[in-house]
Structure 1
Amino acid sequence: MAELNNRDTNNLNTAPEPAPGEEFDAASKSLSEALNVSFVILKVIMIVLVVAFLASGFKTVDSDEQAIVLRFGKIRGVGENRLLDPGAHWILPYPIDEIIKIPVKTKVNLAINSFWYFQTKEDMLSNAKPRVRPGMGLRPLLDGYCLTRSEKGAGATAGSDGSDYNIVHTKWQLTYQIDDPERFFRRIHVRDVTPGDDYFDVITGDDGVKPLLEDMFEDAVVTAMVNYTIDEAISSRDRIPRHIERLLQGKLDAIESGIKVVSVQMTRSEPPPHTSDAFEASIMASQASQKAVTEAKTYAENTLNETAGPVAERLFESLYDETVSEQEKEFLWSDLGGTARERVADAQAYQARVVETAKANADYLERLLPEYRLRPKLVIQKIYLDAMERIFANANETFVVQTTDDAKGTELRVLVNRDPSLKPKKRTTQAGQ
């Protein structure tokens, strides 16, 4: 048994070795299979990379945005096709094409505080006015301010020596939006957007349009404010902002900025703190003066309307205007109203009554004339008694004095109007009747 085992072992150890050509063919086959697998994996990776590269060209434009496509740095497209509307779009991937999204419907608020006086952080938090020390005035290196024209009018500005100007501190808020993305991209310098930056924050920040808008806004404020008085600057909340809005929009349009000014608001306006007491006193005096003038004008208008109606002024002027014809004057007289109209009507009625009374008296005397020629004394006595009857009928009190033949005569003492309520009572009774 031992010999058989040894013989088998020797047979295994002395097995025939493969030929050199056969060993090379097996290695080549293994290498070929490995290379084939590698090429397949590489193709898959390349396909995935190509798909990912092409897929990176799909871009989405939000509803409040419009986009510009840059191809090698130049705007792609012609006419309306240069802008991409909201929605999904495909462009050639970067670095061939690059998309710039610009918010065109977003309204941006920009606070302008460069015309306000200096405030510490404590003053800003407490919203308190700065403490005014004796002798403290304007600090040009710290305080911002605007110059307003004098009260004498705009004509005094050119020949003024500077003493007629007034100083006012103001705060503003500018609201704007981008309405032409292409012009904005071409004309407004914005730093390159780095990864992680929001383009909207970049274009509206210190590295975008903010410094330009601040400079243009300040220039518009300085240009506009010299056309208004300090009272107008303090009280106006619409007129001055509209003026500044027109000036600023004109400047932005001149450089084709693509920016639209939505609104300009003056959020605060105050005189210099060291003159606030005097200014408030001046404002109160001015308001009192304006109130007195307004009341006087109102009284005059009411008086004229009550006196003669709406045509009072024209009628008064026509009386002293020789160019006004009599026909026009008659037409104005016909439109007369108010108390003057009532007095004219009363005068006309009185005239008619006087004429009618005169006619009645004339007819009465004509009827008495034949009787008077026959018995003149009796007719005169009758007329006298009728007149006395009318007189006594209107008298409040009647005194009958009997004549005497005494040489001394009769002494009569009468307390005139001894009962003050008697006459008003009688008038009241007559009025009631």
Structure 2
Amino acid sequence: MNAEPKLPPQAAVEDTATQALAEAMRTSFVVVRLLLIGLAVYFLCSGVFIVKEQERAVILRFGKPVGTGLEALRGPGFHWAFPYPIDEVYRIKAVKVQSAASTIGWYAEDARRNAAGQETPVNPTLDPMRDGYVLTGDRNIIHVRAILRYSIEEPLEFFFNHSNAYFAVTNALDNAVVFAASRYNVDDALRRDLAGLQDLIRRRVEATTARMNLGIKVQQVDLVTAPPRQVQDAFEEVIKAENKRGEDISVAQGYAAEVRSRAEGEAAARINAAQAAAVRFIESIKSDARYFSELLPRYQANPTLFSEWLQTEVLARALTNSQEKFFLPIRTGPGQRELRLLLSREPQKLKTTLTPPKTEGHQH
């Protein structure tokens, strides 16, 4: 057998170094592969985020929302997005009804006293540097506090098209309070038409926020108005006087209505009575006309006889119930007539009524 050739010592050392290098490179490749896999897993897992029940989330990809409208909102649960700086998660409080309070128009209050249920002391005069107020259309000063309740219908417009949408809503409410107060006089704003003032503020806020593209929907406006506290007593006296005036007017109107109703009833009764009397009078005239028309031929035939008959008829009707009748014939010659009456005698009985001759359709 031939013996294997022996390598020189230097070549053996180089071969050992090469094997060690190859082994180190293989180990490095494994470590790099594991690192890359770990980085990929970390990259993917870092994009997972959780949205709480009281939150909503919007994913911004390179600064722009992913999705439009309500579709851009991520609800409660697990979600995934590319890690920063590709995607950014913007969280929003999921409050269905938001509220905003006016920052003008109300007098300064002491928070500690209010918390204790105490009234803030009244200053002798209104301080414009501390106390808010608005002017009415008749140039009077009143205090107004408004609470706006609204819902966010377009969250992308509300949160991403304005640097501070909440502040914009408050400004719109303050503008509406000043605008509406200037359209009302002090009595209407405080007592007579508070609902109208409240509605005008609501409509003004709706118009302003729509013009600003805030993407909200007004739900309700709660309103409180008050006169300056320095003249509160004077306002109460005016209210009492107006209430008394209203009561007096109501009493007077009730009395006027009663008198008018009674007068109308009496007038109607008199008109009805007059119409009935007119009908009776007309019928009586017609009856008399028919009666005289029927008697006219008899009179024309013998006026003397007709006159005697008519006289007899009249006397018969007139003397029907007379107890005593005395006839004095017409004196034909000179001299005096003597009438003797027996006064102390028994009274005579009444005779039955003598019915005069009647013509058809006439009562005389």
Q: TM-score, normalised by structure 2?
A: 0.65
Instruction: Supply the AA of the counterpart residue of 1:222.
Output: V
The answer for the alignment partner of 2:145 in structure 1 is 171
Instruction: Supply the AA of the counterpart residue of 1:51.
Output: V
2:132/2:143 contact within 8 Å kept: yes
The answer for the alignment partner of 1:402 in structure 2 is none
Distance 1:361 1:81 in 2: 99
CA-CA distance at 1:33 after TM superposition: 7.8
Mapped pair 1:250 → 2:241? no
Identity %: 29
- Offset from partner CA, 1:309-361 (integer Å, 9 cap, x none): xxxxxxxxxxxxxxxxxxxxxxxxxxxxx765555444333322232344445
The answer for the alignment partner of 1:159 in structure 2 is none
- Offset from partner CA, 1:194-234 (integer Å, 9 cap, x none): xxxxxxxxxxxxxx434333333222211220111111121
The answer for the alignment partner of 2:136 in structure 1 is 148
CA-CA distance at 1:380 after TM superposition: 2.9
The answer for the alignment partner of 1:71 in structure 2 is 61
Distance 1:64 1:383 in 2: 113
Distance 1:179 1:286 in 2: 46
For residues 30-45 of structure 1, what are the structure 2 equivalents within 5 Å?
32=23, 36=27, 40=30, 43-45=33-35
Match of 1:95 among 72, 78, 85: 85
Instruction: Supply the AA of the counterpart residue of 2:107.
Output: Y
Mapped pair 1:274 → 2:233? no
Larger Rg computed on CA atoms = 2
The answer for the alignment partner of 2:348 in structure 1 is none
1:177/1:259 contact within 8 Å kept: yes
1:167/1:271 contact within 8 Å kept: yes
C-alpha change, 1:343 and 1:180, in structure 2 (3 Å) is farther
Distance 1:382 1:86 in 2: 119
Mapped pair 1:83 → 2:57? no
1:130/1:273 contact within 8 Å kept: no
The answer for the alignment partner of 1:423 in structure 2 is none
C-alpha change, 1:234 and 1:127, in structure 2 (3 Å) is farther
User: Structure 1 unaligned runs (5+)?
Assistant: 1-18, 151-164, 190-207, 309-337, 389-404, 406-433
- Offset from partner CA, 1:83-139 (integer Å, 9 cap, x none): 356577644332202233546872112233532222223541354444447xx1211
1:68/1:75 contact within 8 Å kept: yes
For residues 97-246 of structure 1, what are the structure 2 equivalents within 5 Å?
97-102=87-92, 106-112=96-102, 114-132=104-122, 136-150=124-138, 165-189=139-163, 208-235=164-191, 236-246=193-203
Partner SS state of residue 83, structure 2: coil
The answer for the alignment partner of 1:201 in structure 2 is none
C-alpha change, 1:27 and 1:178, in structure 2 (3 Å) is same
Partner SS state of residue 280, structure 1: helix
The answer for the alignment partner of 1:332 in structure 2 is none
1:113/1:170 contact within 8 Å kept: no
2:144/2:177 contact within 8 Å kept: no
Distance 1:264 1:178 in 2: 16
C-alpha change, 1:80 and 1:231, in structure 2 (3 Å) is closer
2:135/2:141 contact within 8 Å kept: yes
Partner SS state of residue 238, structure 1: helix
The answer for the alignment partner of 2:221 in structure 1 is 264
Distance 1:86 1:301 in 2: 67
Instruction: Supply the AA of the counterpart residue of 1:353.
Output: R
